[in-house]
Structure 1
């Protein structure tokens, strides 16, 4: 009995770190104003409020007066007004990697310091890879910039294939037409810029397939429900159509039979045969009709002979 109790305790203790690590992957809303929403399919948007957990791979959007701050342990990401970005987390603990896909606006990020790069911010014009730092990313239609308060950020321009390691007090800006430019504040010197190969610049582009896959998983259930509903409606319509067709056929058959009866009894029998497609019962009706006609003829002949005999007398 005691050994079983010990085994249960050991199992619980082994599960606690795993649960803690899994929960450590969630981004939680620390502060949020109005005009802050999130979406998993970029079509249906839901208001985001303080204390809520942001679903993995969800897109977050702020309006002209919207601001939101997300926290995860010692890390934080602040969305400024008119900003849209999605956050995808893969793996756990030391193997955890985070990809922020920023479409527009400004993000202020404070990332935990680690030995290896573990967080990437990807914009339409540049990618910023960090080990741990405080930095800011701003994105416009044809420009993007990264400024660093603490730590080191590797910035790569996709179009011009330029790269710079931006440190504290430094800034790198990318223009689609003019390429990368760097600057420094105060006594700091501007970072150096080098040209990299197309393959190296391409490796800086982080695929957003993970966002699409996680989002599609959430929307699949609703799509399947809609398809099932549509199929059920189509089936019901088809059944209703068949019932109506059968009813119409029976009504037409009945009308045809009535018209035949009013014209002659043989026409009614023939009409019944055509509707019933030559069933054995129809053959019997036909013979019955013919035999009745024959008997009628015999009756007429018998009357004729009787009149003849009466005249001779």
Structure 2
């Protein structure tokens, strides 16, 4: 065979392979700043509209994350706190497997004569020819609901199977097995051989840390804000800057010499101590939240007293 023909055949094969690879790639249509992907399960990269997601990559969304992927007429939307990967194999007969460990996916799959897309979860597998359906995976169960087309759902542990049509759904619980529902007609359930799931439950693999880390960061941020607000409130109360009014009673607990009396009135909210104040012949001591302490006849301590959040405190000194 002449060299020129060999070169042309090689070039044709390369172009066909490249076109096939491009057709297998999912492109980002929409994405928030909490959408990321990884190809090595360690290093995570942010996703932006227009990016190509490599085959077999894991995609993760945070508590406020969302991303929509498209490939031709097909699309997959990741809702918040979702972790899944998409793998496509085959040359002439392309098959796609979605491995969904946790979260919610909306899928629109191209219709073909033979089943070509499978969604694997820790509790069930969904096989489709072409349809619009939704899959949600939690810590102990998973569910599938169908808008259009036909989806075959199989429960691994309980050995149950059901074919879902439009407006029908199935839920597989790790303990209770499969339950089905339908708005018009209820789908049937048949028995199959129990099997093991390909996908581990979330939290049992390193890859699951992507979603868990986002959740922990979100909770930590919220806790920090609450703690800061609480600290600010306590600080204002200690400085006598309480707000509002209250009739809760408190104790000034003052100790005074020579019949000294300490009285404090609080108009604020907060908890703090009236502090130590030495009063000589009518000196004054500052209490909590704008309270006033007065001592009479000699040297007295307004005392260490805690007033409760806007309470009225009265204390009587003891003579020595």
Instruction: Give the number of aligned pairs.
Output: 200
For residues 31-180 of structure 1, the aligned pairs below 5 Å read 31-92=30-91, 94-180=92-178
| Deviations 1:16-41 (CA, angstroms, capped at 9, x unpaired) | 54432221011111111110111123
The structure that has the greater radius of gyration is 1
* RMSD (CA atoms): 2.4
Q: Which has the higher strand share?
A: 2
The CA deviation string for residues 274-302 of structure 1, in whole angstroms up to 9 with x for no partner, is: xxxxxxxxxxxxxxxxxxxxxxxxxxxxx
Among 188, 191, 214, the alignment partner of 1:192 is 188
Deviation at 1:127, TM superposition (A): 0.5
- What TM-score, normalized by structure 1, do the two folds share? 0.59
Q: Provide the residue aligned with 1:30 in structure 2.
A: 29
TM-score scaled by length of structure 2: 0.57
- 2:123–2:174 contact (8 Å) kept in structure 1: yes
Deviation above 3 Å: which 4+ runs of structure 1? 3-19, 205-208
Q: 2:179, 2:168 → 1: CA distance?
A: 11
After superposition, the C-alpha distances for 1:84-131 in whole angstroms (9 at most, x for unaligned) are: 001111122x42111111111100001111111111101111010111
* Structure with the higher helix share, 1 or 2: 1
Classify the secondary structure of the residue corresponding to 2:19: helix
Q: Is the 8 A contact 2:29 2:70 kept in 1?
A: yes
CA distance in 2, matches of 1:174, 1:29: 31
Bigger shift: residues 41-50 or 122-131 = 41-50
Aligned to 1:270: none
CA distance in 2, matches of 1:40, 1:18: 21
Q: CA deviation at 1:192?
A: 0.1
CA distance in 2, matches of 1:15, 1:176: 47
